[in-house]
Amino acid sequence: MHELPVMNGILRVVMKHAALNRVTKVAAIQLQVGKLSDLEEKWM
């Protein structure tokens, strides 16, 4: 199960961009998981 480190990385990127743009709240993150990604969408 390597979804957790992947999601942590995505969250770090989102928070970094939010801070750079002085955004104080992120309401949603939309993510598309490809079939060849070897990630389980239901675990994300």
End-to-end CA distance of the chain: 10
The verdict on residue 40 lying in a domain is no
Can you tell me the distance from the alpha carbon of 3 to that of 1, in angstroms, rounded to the nearest whole number? 6
Check if the beta carbon of residue 4 is closer than 8 Å to that of residue 10.
no
User: Is 17 among the domain residues?
Assistant: yes
Mean pLDDT, all residues of the chain: 88
Q: How many domains does the chain have?
A: 1
Domain that holds residue 21: 3-34
CB atoms within 10 A of CB 17: 11
pTM > 0.85: yes or no: no
* Residue-level pLDDT at 3: 83
Q: What is the pLDDT of residue 21?
A: 98
- Given pLDDT bands bounded at 50, 70 and 90, which one contains residue 30? very high
Spacing of C-alpha 8 from chain mean position: 7
Cα 9 off chain centre by: 7
